[in-house]
């Protein structure tokens, strides 16, 4: 059994198409999971939602399943991520500009969605995925951590905290996104994998990340893929789409 997992597209259609083309050339994929953050921040929010929606509806979700992430929820409900308070005047000034930039982009992203995109995103929110793999056991998928689409599970998260996130879950393998950084660590009985971000990787800017999980003989082989994509094309697409702050997004996808 082979499971493909993608996450954190963030409206970057150029990167998404690169991954989908790679997936189409990968043999024997039985199931694909998409772990959310489809639209926010990038130049093509509606186009990315429609692309994922079409894949999910092609066989009524039997082989392509989707859940939403925190930024999908922000677009649907108008919510925003809580941020730390400013500690001094200089930080306050930068803090104010950061909030203005964030809301400008998210409001523009929302304005690009149509009713069908909105309904689709709404239907993905606050969900998780699971699959009982014969001979291996239960595998779960979530956006941030089980039960929380905003919490961060990182390589330096303490073993105690990481274990706490999985206390009320059954299984052996947990797969998430949200941090925009790939990770593969084991704590107790749990193997915790982050497939990274397709559209806005933090640890590998300009690279589209996702994962392939191959189950055989009671074991799982984890392949974290990292694909270069046309960053110049994605940057040009910001201007073509009329993105309100193209330099904001471009600075996050260009390799240093």
Backbone angles phi and psi of 193, in degrees to 5: -120, 135
Dihedral sign for Cα atoms in the order 232, 41, 101, 201: negative
Q: Which residues contact 116 (CB under 8 A, 6 or more apart)?
A: 50, 53
pLDDT at position 81 is 84
List the chain residues with pLDDT less than 50. none
Residue whose token pair is 């909105």: 118
> Which tokens belong to 43?
């130049």
pLDDT at position 253 is 97
> Which tokens belong to 163?
């274990």
Backbone angles phi and psi of 138, in degrees to 5: -85, 135
Q: How far is CA 88 from CA 81, 92, 94, 95, 190, in A?
A: 21, 6, 10, 10, 41
pLDDT at position 86 is 87
pLDDT at position 21 is 98
Q: Which residues contact 197 (CB under 8 A, 6 or more apart)?
A: 7, 8, 9, 10, 37, 177, 180, 181, 209
Task: List, in order of start, the domains of the chain with CATH numbers.
Answer: 2-253 (3.60.21.10)
d(CA 240, CA 110) in angstroms, rounded, equals 17
13-24 and 45-58 helices, crossing angle to 10°? 30
């Amino acid at each position: 059994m082979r499971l493909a997992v993608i996450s954190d597209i963030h409206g970057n259609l150029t990167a998404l198409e690169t991954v989908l083309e790679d997936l189409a050339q990968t043999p024997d994929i039985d199931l694909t999971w998409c772990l959310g953050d489809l639209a926010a921040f990038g130049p093509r929010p509606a186009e990315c939602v429609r692309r994922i929606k079409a894949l999910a509806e092609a066989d009524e979700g039997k082989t392509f399943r989707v859940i939403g992430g925190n930024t999908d929820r922000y677009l649907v409900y108008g919510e925003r991520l809580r941020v730390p308070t400013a500690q001094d005047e200089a930080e306050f000034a930068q803090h104010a500009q950061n909030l203005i930039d964030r809301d400008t982009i998210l409001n523009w992203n929302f304005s690009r969605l149509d009713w069908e995109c909105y309904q689709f995103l709404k239907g993905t929110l606050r969900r998780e995925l699971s699959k009982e793999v014969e001979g291996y056991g239960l595998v779960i998928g979530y956006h941030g951590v089980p039960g929380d689409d905003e919490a961060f599970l990182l390589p330096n998260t303490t073993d105690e905290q990481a274990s706490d996130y999985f206390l009320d879950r059954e299984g052996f393998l947990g797969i998430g996104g949200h941090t925009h950084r790939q990770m593969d660590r084991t704590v107790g009985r749990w193997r915790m994998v982050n497939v990274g971000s397709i559209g806005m990787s933090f640890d590998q800017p300009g690279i589209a990340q996702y994962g392939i999980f191959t189950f055989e003989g009671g074991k799982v082989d984890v392949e974290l893929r990292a694909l270069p994509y046309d960053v110049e094309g994605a940057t040009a697409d910001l201007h073509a789409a009329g993105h309100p702050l193209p330099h904001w997004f471009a600075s996050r996808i260009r390799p240093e």
